[in-house]
Every structure is written in structure tokens, then in C-alpha cells.
């Protein structure tokens, strides 16, 4: 009876995590991909590992310290990117490995065995707590509100920052807010797919969506749907053959991508035939 | 003839490096100024100063019609096309509409009159048929027209164009200049161009920018004059400009 209840709670939690991950990654991933911030996001992801190490060492929830660490790295990179005398990508590279180094240092300094370390690297939906779910829920609500009410201004700035500046729009402020949301999205999804794989949750659904639509809003919606399918398939696989959920979700997404690409190629061929070429 | 913009003894550049030295320019409401000069001479930098994107180290930039109503739409800007991401998922209509968003109006939505203005502008430029096309599918010339529509949609008093003739063919270039000539009846125009020959029959005056600025109050210029303005560029003539052999001056 108790084990059944536990199993039920586990399934509900992992499904909820999958749904919320699809929503937040669908929205933020579209922003990242269209603004060509994928490398930057990789930097934020890996530097947040420093926060996880510090969390272990000081004995509090690693996700909280990772969020703080991630947001500050993100704001720092945004600040530096405005100066033209520094190479932004080099700074990202430095922060990327510096965060990892800090993380490893503190984990080794922590007495005893670091529990769940693997789950932060590769994701494990088993370890997603109700607290994590609540955080992800809060984030998804914030993202939906921000991208609904500020949609036209986000689109405007993403497309042409400089022009937006000539229209006296607070471009820097909005950039800072959005990059902060990028960092939070990355960190809160680490439990689901892990540090190594989270970037693919932010890019594969968008790449699939972009095959079929070239409208920002539609890319968000289609990405969320594809994320949901991938997460569900991945969870089933993960549950059935007992492998980390991160790996099985990404595997499912890549399979969907290949099928979609194939579908698109065939559709293109048929179209050509119709035009009798 | 009413003065709309005054630039006085401006020094400007980036990261403490001075690019523009002692630049002064007055713009009147019926002006059609062609800015020419070598690559890296500072043409875009001068536009950035006018647009308020960079603050001058020294000197002043002043707009004369400073009433609240006109503060927003005093400048329409068409950036150099290489600054635009061609793969961004946005439609022509969305690009043009964005030309109507100003400052603090970040909460509000597009009104019916905004949408009508966008359609009117698209019709005026003659690209209403691609209204809902995504920009990824546009040719270089169409893209330039879309950017022109975005600059115009707010009915500015001064239109600033940074090399709108790159990536376009001769026919489009002619079309573009005819549109600009028409627009010049309503607004002042500043256009940056490499090709002095073609624009010279449309513009009224020429400003040569090569770190400093020399204002030439006519649309005819010879290569000797250019050289004396410290602005050694080649004239590709189409009959309008007196052709002379280029003499490069080293100072
Ligand atoms: N954002 C920037 N940061 C630092 N230096 C810059 C920046 N933009 C331009 N410069 C420098 O300022 C100088 C003038 O550049 P600018 O873009 O104004 O030239 P331009 O006349 O517009 O050239 P082009 O014909 O190639 O467009 C160049 O030497 C350039 O390297
Ligand atoms: Mg330029």
C-alpha cells in the first residue's frame, strides 16, 4: 500500500516536472535560439555547477545556490557583452570552466559522499521534490505572464536592439530581466535532464518547430507541444529500462527531430512533383 | 526652411578612441543630404551620434522642434542591413508595426490606427503583397523596403538611411530614390552611400565624412574636391558628375 502510494507520487511528480519543463524550456528556448544565445546559455548552465558545489558544502539545497550563482553569472555576462573591448565568448568560456572548477572543489571539500551528484549532471526525475515542482510552477507562470504581456516589446528588442534603443526603450533593463529568467529556467530544469543535457531541451524542440513555422509565437507553442511529447516518451523509456531521464528525453527528442526532418524532405519532394519539375 | 537639427563641434567615438573630430552640421526641414566617405571613415558613427546611440565626448546635438508631441517621431532610422539578423522569425507586418513602439509604451498593444498606419506605409512603399511573409523569405531589396517602411511608419521629420543601396540591383535603387525624392517633400533626409554617382542627382548637398566633416553645398562634386576634403573615394559616374582622375592625397 505504502509503496504503491510512493510510486503513484513519483509518477505524478515526474509527469508534472515534464510538463513544466516543456513550458519553461519552450518559451525561453525560443528566446535563446532566435537571439543566438545558445553558447551563452551553455556557459550559464555549467557555471551554475559552482553553485551546486557551494550548496553541498554549506549544507543547503543546491538548486537555490545554483540559481543564485547562475543568475549572477548571467548578469555578469550581459554586463560584459556591452563592452566592445572584451571578447564576450572568451569570457563565457572562462566562466563555463570556472563554475565547473568551483563546483568540483567544493564537492571534494564536503566531508562524506555527495548524494545525488550524478542526478545533477545527468538528470534524474526520481529526485525531483515537491519543492522543485513548486519552483518550476512559479517560473512557468512568470514566463507565461512576461511573454504574454511584453510579447511585442520582447520581439522588437530581440529582432533589432539598436533600433529599439533609438526609440528610447529601456533595452538594457529588459535584457537583464530576460537573461535572469534564462538563468532561472536553466537551473530549475537541471534536475530533469541534468547540466550536461539541459541545453538540448532548450534547442531541439525549437529546431523542430522552426522546420514548420517561422513565427516567434508559433515556435514557442509548437516547442512546448514537442517538449511534452519528448518528455512523456522519455519518461516511459526511463521508467521501463531504468536509465537517467535526461538521456531518454533527449534521445526521444532527437528521434522526433529526425522523423520531422524526414517528413519535411518528403513533403518538399511531393511539392516539387506537383509543380512538374 | 526651418532648422530642425544642429550639431556643433562634436567629438565622438568608442571606448575613449576619438573617431569624429570637430564635426558641425545643420539640418533644415527640406534637406536631402548625402553622406559619403571611405569605409571606417565614421559615417555610421555620425548617425549614431544623431540618433543618440552614443554620447559625444564634446560638443552638442540639438533638436529644435522639441515639443512633447514631436519628440518621439522626430527621426526615422534605416540601419545598415548587415546589422539585421535575416533568420529571425518575424513577419514583415510585425517589423513595420514595431516602428510605432516608443519609450514607455511597453504595456500597450497595437491599436487599430497603428495597424492602419502600417498598411498605409506598406502600400506607399509598394510591398503590401508581402505583408504576412516572414523576413527569412525576402530578397535583399525587399528587406530594404521593409526597413524603410519601419522607419517611415511613425511619420518622422527626419529620415536617416545607412547605405540602403547595398545588396540591391539598379532597378530597385532607382525605385528607392524615386520614393525618397517623393518623401523629401515632407521630411528631411540624410542618406549614407558609397556610390556618389547614382545618388548625386537626387540629393541636394553632400557631406564628406572622414574623421572630420566637410559640407559641400551642392550635389555636384569632383574627385579633386573630394581629395581636398580629405575624402579620397572613387566616383563611379553615370553622367551627372564631372569625372576627373582620382588623385589620392596623403597628409
Ligand atoms: N561599436 C564600436 N566599437 C568600437 N569601435 C567602433 C565601433 N563601431 C565602429 N568603430 C570604429 O569606428 C570607426 C568608424 O566606423 P564607422 O562604422 O562609423 O565607419 P563607416 O564610415 O560607417 O564605415 P562603412 O562604410 O564601412 O560603413 C572604424 O574605425 C571602426 O573600427
Ligand atoms: Mg557604416
Concatenating the DSSP letter of every residue in B1-65 gives: --EEEEEEEEEEEETTEEEEEEEEEEEETT-EEEEE--TTSSHHHHHHHHHTSS--SEEEEEES-
Handedness of CA B220, B224, B226, B229 (dihedral sign): negative
Co-location of B59 and B162 in the same domain = yes
Q: Is residue B76 part of a domain?
A: no
Co-location of B198 and B221 in the same domain = yes
Neighbours of A177 (CB within 10 A): 15
B63 interface with A at CB cutoff 8 Å: no
> Are B121 and B93 spatial neighbours (Cβ–Cβ below 8 Å)?
no
pLDDT score of A277 = 65
Co-location of B44 and B11 in the same domain = yes
pLDDT for residue B239 is more than 50: no
Task: Locate the domains of chain A by residue range.
Answer: 2-195
The nearest CA of chain A is from the CA of B48 a distance in Å of: 9
Co-location of B240 and B133 in the same domain = no
Q: From the centroid of its chain, how far is CA B145?
A: 13
pLDDT for residue B128 is more than 80: yes
Q: Is residue B138 part of a domain?
A: yes
B16 interface with A at CB cutoff 8 Å: no
What's the rounded mean pLDDT across residues A206-227? 96
> What's the CA gap between B130 and B93, in Å, rounded?
8
> Are A40 and A154 spatial neighbours (Cβ–Cβ below 8 Å)?
no
Question: Which CATH code of 3.40.50.12160, 3.40.718.10, 3.40.50.720, 1.10.3470.10 fits the domain covering A2-195?
Answer: 1.10.3470.10
Q: Is residue B54 part of a domain?
A: yes
Q: Which of B70, B82, B85, B89 to mutate to test the interface with A (most CBs of A within 10 A)?
A: B89
Q: Which of B40, B163, B193 should be mutated for ligand 1, with most atoms under 8 A from CB? A: B40
Q: Is residue B78 part of a domain?
A: no
A86 interface with B at CB cutoff 8 Å: no
Ligand nearest B16 Cα, by number?
1
Q: Is residue B199 part of a domain?
A: yes
Task: Provide the β-strand partners of residue B190.
Answer: B33, B160
Q: Is residue B213 part of a domain?
A: yes
Q: Is residue B75 part of a domain?
A: no
Co-location of B58 and B169 in the same domain = yes
A263 interface with B at CB cutoff 8 Å: no
Tell me the pLDDT tens digit for each residue of A72-94: 999 999 998 877 777 888 899 99
> What's the CA gap between A74 and A44, in Å, rounded?
6
**Domain end position, chosen among B154, B171, B200:** B154
Q: Which domain holds residue B54?
A: 1-65+157-251
Q: Phi and psi dihedrals of B24, rounded to 5?
A: -130, 145
Co-location of B101 and B138 in the same domain = yes
What letters, b where the CB count within 10 A reaches 16 and e where it falls short, cover A217-242?
A: eebbebbbebbbebbbbbbebbbeee
> What's the CA gap between B82 and B172, in Å, rounded?
18
**Domain end position, chosen among B154, B179, B214:** B154
Q: Which atom of ligand 1 is nearest to the CA of B163?
A: 27
Tell me the pLDDT tens digit for each residue of B61-117: 988 876 655 566 789 999 998 888 999 999 999 999 999 998 877 777 899 999 999
Co-location of B127 and B164 in the same domain = no
- CA nearest to A214 within chain B: B89
What is the percentage of chain A residues whose pLDDT exceeds 70? 97
Residues of B in contact with A83 (CB under 8 A): 15
Average pLDDT, chain A: 91
H/E element, A136: helix A130-149
What's the rounded mean pLDDT across residues A259-274? 90
CATH of the domain at B12: 3.40.50.300
Which residue's alpha carbon is at the smallest distance from atom 4 of ligand 1?
B14
- CA nearest to B156 within chain A: A167
A87 interface with B at CB cutoff 8 Å: no
- How many separate domains does chain B show? 2
Co-location of B148 and B163 in the same domain = no
Nearest of B150, B202, B149 to residue B173 by alpha carbon:
B202
pTM: 0.89
Co-location of B56 and B164 in the same domain = yes
Q: Which is more confidently placed, A124 or A228?
A: A228
Ligand nearest B209 Cα, by number?
1
Alpha helices in chain B (DSSP H): 43-51, 68-71, 92-98, 112-125, 140-152, 170-183, 196-199, 223-228
Co-location of B95 and B148 in the same domain = yes
Co-location of B53 and B172 in the same domain = yes
Pairing of strands B75-78, B158-162: parallel
Co-location of B132 and B238 in the same domain = no
Q: Which of A38, A154, A159, A165 to mutate to test the interface with B (most CBs of B within 10 A)?
A: A159
Would you call B102 and A34 a contact, using CB atoms and an 8 Å cutoff? no
pLDDT score of B169 = 78
> What's the CA gap between A243 and A200, in Å, rounded?
18
Amino acid at each position: 500500500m505504502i509503496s504503491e502510494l510512493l510510486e503513484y507520487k513519483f509518477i505524478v511528480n515526474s509527469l508534472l516536472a515534464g510538463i513544466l519543463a516543456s513550458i519553461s524550456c519552450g518559451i525561453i528556448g525560443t528566446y535563446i535560439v532566435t537571439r543566438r544565445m545558445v553558447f551563452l546559455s551553455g556557459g550559464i548552465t555549467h557555471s551554475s555547477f559552482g553553485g551546486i558545489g557551494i550548496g553541498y558544502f554549506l549544507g543547503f539545497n543546491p538548486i537555490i545556490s545554483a540559481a543564485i550563482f547562475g543568475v549572477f553569472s548571467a548578469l555578469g555576462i550581459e554586463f560584459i557583452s556591452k563592452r566592445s573591448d572584451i571578447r564576450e565568448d572568451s569570457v563565457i568560456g572562462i566562466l563555463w570552466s570556472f563554475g565547473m572548477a568551483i563546483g568540483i572543489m567544493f564537492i571534494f571539500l564536503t566531508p562524506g559522499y555527495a548524494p545525488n551528484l550524478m542526478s545533477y549532471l545527468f538528470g534524474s526525475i526520481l529526485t525531483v521534490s515537491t519543492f522543485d515542482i513548486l519552483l518550476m510552477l512559479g517560473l512557468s507562470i512568470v514566463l507565461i505572464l512576461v511573454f504574454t504581456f511584453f510579447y511585442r516589446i520582447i520581439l522588437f528588442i530581440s529582432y533589432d536592439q539598436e533600433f529599439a534603443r533609438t526609440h528610447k526603450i529601456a533595452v538594457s533593463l529588459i535584457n537583464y530581466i530576460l537573461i535572469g529568467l534564462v538563468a532561472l529556467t536553466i537551473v530549475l530544469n537541471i534536475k530533469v535532464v541534468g547540466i550536461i543535457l539541459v541545453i538540448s531541451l532548450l534547442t531541439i524542440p525549437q529546431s523542430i518547430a522552426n522546420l514548420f513555422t517561422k513565427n516567434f509565437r508559433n515556435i514557442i507553442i509548437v516547442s512546448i507541444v514537442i517538449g511534452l511529447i519528448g518528455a512523456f516518451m522519455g519518461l516511459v523509456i526511463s521508467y521501463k529500462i531504468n536509465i537517467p531521464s535526461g538521456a531518454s528525453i533527449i534521445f526521444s527528442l532527437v528521434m522526433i527531430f529526425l522523423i520531422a526532418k524526414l517528413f519535411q524532405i518528403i513533403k518538399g519532394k511531393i511539392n516539387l512533383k506537383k509543380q512538374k519539375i | 526652411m526651418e532648422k530642425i537639427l544642429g550639431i556643433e563641434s562634436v567629438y565622438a567615438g568608442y571606448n575613449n578612441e576619438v573617431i569624429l573630430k570637430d564635426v558641425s552640421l545643420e539640418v533644415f526641414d527640406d534637406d536631402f543630404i548625402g553622406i559619403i566617405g571611405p569605409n571606417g571613415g565614421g559615417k555610421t558613427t555620425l548617425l549614431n551620434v544623431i540618433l543618440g546611440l552614443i554620447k559625444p565626448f564634446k560638443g552638442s546635438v540639438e533638436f529644435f522642434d522639441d515639443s512633447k508631441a514631436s519628440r518621439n517621431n522626430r527621426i526615422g532610422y534605416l540601419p545598415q542591413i548587415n546589422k539585421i539578423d535575416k533568420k529571425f522569425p518575424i513577419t514583415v507586418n510585425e517589423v513595420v508595426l514595431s516602428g510605432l513602439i516608443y519609450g514607455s509604451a511597453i504595456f500597450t498593444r497595437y491599436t487599430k490606427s497603428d495597424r492602419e498606419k502600417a498598411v498605409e506605409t506598406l502600400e506607399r512603399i509598394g510591398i503590401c503583397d508581402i505583408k504576412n511573409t516572414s523576413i527569412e523569405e525576402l530578397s535583399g531589396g525587399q528587406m530594404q523596403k521593409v526597413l524603410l517602411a519601419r522607419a517611415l511608419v511613425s511619420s518622422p521629420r527626419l529620415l536617416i538611411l545607412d547605405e540602403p543601396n547595398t545588396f540591391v540591383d539598379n532597378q530597385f535603387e532607382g525605385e528607392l530614390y524615386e520614393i525618397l525624392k517623393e518623401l523629401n517633400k515632407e521630411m528631411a533626409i540624410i542618406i549614407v552611400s558609397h556610390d556618389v554617382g547614382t545618388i548625386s542627382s537626387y540629393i541636394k548637398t553632400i557631406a564628406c565624412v572622414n574623421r572630420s566633416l566637410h559640407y559641400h553645398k551642392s550635389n555636384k562634386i569632383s574627385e579633386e574636391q573630394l581629395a581636398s576634403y580629405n575624402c579620397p573615394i572613387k566616383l563611379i559616374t553615370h553622367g551627372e558628375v564631372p569625372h576627373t582622375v582620382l588623385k589620392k592625397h596623403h597628409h
